[in-house]
Amino acid sequence: MAECKSSAGMAGKTVIITGGNTGIGKATATELAKRGARVILACRNKHKAEQAIADIERETGSTDVQYMHLDLASLQAVRCFAQTFLKTESRLDLLINNAGLVADGRTEDGFGIEFGVNHLGHFLLTCLLLDRLKEAPQSRVVTLTSMAHRWGKIDFDALVTNKDLGEGRYSWQFFNAYCNSKLCNSLFTHELAKRLRGTNVTCYSVHPGVVRTELSRHVSLWQMVIVVPISRLFFLDPKAGAQTTLYCALQEGIEPLSGRYFFCCAVEDVCAQAKDDAVAKKLWDISEGLCGLS
């Protein structure tokens, strides 16, 4: 697996990492704290966050890792997080939209859980923090997608009528919904880059590889019996999975590649539908409406 070789420091800079208390997010937080960043772990579980902070401080010696409550399954909670952050923090240099899940169910606002958490919560969070990002000399937004975006599709009729991009209770339907949400992440980054042209903010989408994380912690017991042994044998550990995220966060000179998709610390092409200008704009406009921004 490729390794981020940037030597860039992060002293004096502030970072938000969603889902930063476990997996790729925690590994990313550890490296950025090691480089001197002020790191905000934006996550739902306070107990896990406090455990992660203790681990990170022990490994890095940093005393500047903080927890702030964020529940991406609630648009009101996302707004509360943004309001608290903007009141208490004077700068934001890096936003890493890392959190994600594979699960069944609905968000507090009635959206399909995968669409609501993986895409819509991060969409709203980014929009609410954009002005603070623009105040930094140079800032970045890194959003974790997946190669699974290639199998996704956007059914706007289903989104408007059902508040979701898929429905059903079978495992393959969960996976389809996950693929759809990851396509949303890629389209979001594509459209965001267009809207950020001429500013000091750049954005990138990342496929971290197939990594041992808690992504599928909400699936059934029999599915876990299958997934866990396979993951231990063949999947990357979180530190290896964090390398492309770190590359997009730290690597000097990639600003002209804003909006692009990265894997193994290198830019890669996405499927045609993930860079469709009309689809990306329509998804953005609908997402604004669903979030109450338009």
Chain Cα centroid distance, residue 20: 10
What tokens appear for 101 in the block? Answer: 């899940």
Longest dimension (CA), the chain: 51
Give one word for 125, left, alpha or beta, with left for phi > 0 and alpha for psi -120 to 50: alpha
Q: Is 247 a catalytic residue?
A: no
Residues near 157 by Cβ (< 8 Å), separated by ≥ 6? none
CA dihedral 181, 78, 97, 116 (to 10 degrees): -10
Taking alpha carbons only, the member of 194, 197, 235 closest to residue 214 is 235
Taking alpha carbons only, the member of 63, 31, 67, 32 closest to residue 49 is 67
Residue with tokens 């406009």: 285
Distance CA 278, CA 280 (A): 5
Residue with tokens 């921004």: 293
Choosing from 67, 170, 178, 247, the catalytic residue is: 178
Chain Cα centroid distance, residue 291: 17
Distance CA 129, CA 136 (A): 12
Q: Supply the residues annotated as catalytic.
A: 178
